[in-house]
Amino acid sequence: MRRRTYFIIAGLAVILTAFGFSITNSKAAKAELPAETSSLPAPVGDDAACLSCHQNPEFTTNVGNLQKSEQFVLFVNPDEYNHSVHGQMGITCIECHIDFKPEMGHGKSFISRREVTIKMNETCGNCHKKQAEKQKDSVHSQMIAFGKYEAATCTDCHTAHAVKRMKDPKTGLLYPETRVWIPGTCNQCHSTIVEKYRNSVHGEALLNDQNPDVPTCIDCHGVHNILNPTTDKFRLASPTMCAKCHTDPKRMDKYGISTEVMNTYVADFHGTTVSIFEQVSPDAPTNKPVCYDCHGVHDITRVDDPKKGLEIKANLLIKCQKCHPDANTNFPDAWMSHYIPSTDKYPIVYYINLFYKFLIPGVLVPMGVLVLLDFSRATINRFKKPEKVTPPISEKTDKKAADTEVKHD
């Protein structure tokens, strides 16, 4: 019994000694860890831990491979982020950078900086699901799917850490007077087009006068569900797009512009054909002109502009000859510039229309009355019972004499 007791006591002593030794070694090992490893931030919502590195303007890394490497700036401006809509809402870094694990480091390897941007934009859909779904059908997403990584993503337009609040009276899209910055955003990729827009009647009014009535890029192309403007579907739908502004009396009356543009366009051969195509075959091509074929796309000018304005007959003839090469100088006279004829505009057409407004009812109404009277008399005669006809007295006498002679015979 004593020997067994000694063995048990000795075993316990060995176990306790080994346990104490392991604790001492682990403390020593932790004290010898490199500074960059021991200072990794804990996986909690504390931006200060992230900013301890990322607020350094010189903080960069390299992405790519041995053949091609690019420098990637990892600097985040804390003041800029704090004034963004996300910073004001208290959204922390790891709510967007959800794949980051402190114990593993960033643990990511990318071929290029652009690949980093595209991958990170998938995070936006976690909160902005509706916008992300619309963006999937946009021409930008389609281009990225085909490997054209230069197409715009969320952060290219909204930025990554300085996202504007939509309801901000200084920068928000919901305030018309703050939409001046929209062409500047699109200018990052579409500089040539924005330059044309800048010199157009719309662009000058927006950028020089800050006029909220004129359209910006997103009014025509959309925000997240941007369609491919080179498709037949976009082309056929473009008159309706222009009509959103040009049929608004409240907006057009300020500038003395006719609101009958859509009605007059649909009433003629060009507009009628385009309207039928849009309703029946919206993806089918048509050679009939739409608004921007005559007025321009991004370089739209005033109608009285001496160089391009369509109220100048010589300019209009040039437009007509694109489809009608044989058109002569009298050809444009058939077009009434989207105006309804009046005593001021196209008086001859107005008085001819007025004449027919009286002539046609004056002929058709009496004719209708005559037809109705004739039809009613014919109907009455058909259902009326025939009257019994009494022969004259002379006929009765002759018949009686004849009957008497027959009896005598």
321-328: long-range contacts at Cβ-Cβ below 8 A with a sequence spacing of 24 or more?
322/293, 323/287, 323/289
Tens-binned pLDDT, residue by residue, of the chain (409 aa): 444 544 455 554 445 444 443 434 433 333 333 333 333 334 445 788 889 889 999 998 888 776 788 888 889 999 999 999 999 999 999 888 887 655 444 556 678 888 888 988 889 999 999 999 999 989 999 999 998 999 999 999 999 999 988 777 666 666 666 788 899 999 999 999 999 999 999 999 999 988 989 999 999 999 899 989 999 999 999 999 999 999 999 999 999 888 988 999 998 889 999 999 999 998 899 999 999 999 999 999 998 899 889 989 999 999 999 999 999 999 988 888 888 888 888 899 999 999 999 999 999 999 999 999 999 988 888 887 776 666 665 655 655 555 665 555 5
Q: How far apart are CA 225 and CA 235, in angstroms?
A: 16
In terms of Cβ atoms closer than 10 Å to its own Cβ (0-12, 13-18, 19+), residue 330 is exposed
DSSP tag of 105: B
Domain ranges (residues) in the chain? 48-163, 349-382
- Note the helical H segments in 257-346: 261-267, 269-280, 291-295, 313-323
With residue 62 as reference, give the H or E element that holds it: strand 60-64
DSSP tag of 111: S
Residue 41, SS3? coil
Residue 298's nearest CA partner among 217, 177, 205 is: 217
Flag whether the pTM goes above 0.75. Answer: no
- Measured from the Cβ of residue 260, the count of other Cβ atoms closer than 10 Å reads 16
Q: How far apart are CA 75 and CA 58, in angstroms?
A: 7
Q: How far apart are CA 207 and CA 383, in angstroms?
A: 80
Place of tokens 């009276």: 169
Task: List, in order, residues 6 or more apart from 166 with CB less than 8 Å away.
Answer: 85, 172, 173, 174
- Note the helical H segments in 283-346: 291-295, 313-323
- Token readout for 230 is 């080179």
Residue 161's nearest CA partner among 75, 62, 225, 284 is: 75
Q: How far apart are CA 208 and CA 3, in angstroms?
A: 103
Q: In this structure, are residues 282 and 234 in contact, taking their beta carbons and an 8 Å threshold?
A: no
Q: How far apart are CA 84 and CA 78, in angstroms?
A: 10
Q: In this structure, are residues 346 and 357 in contact, taking their beta carbons and an 8 Å threshold?
A: no
Signed CA dihedral, 43, 45, 50, 52: sign only: negative
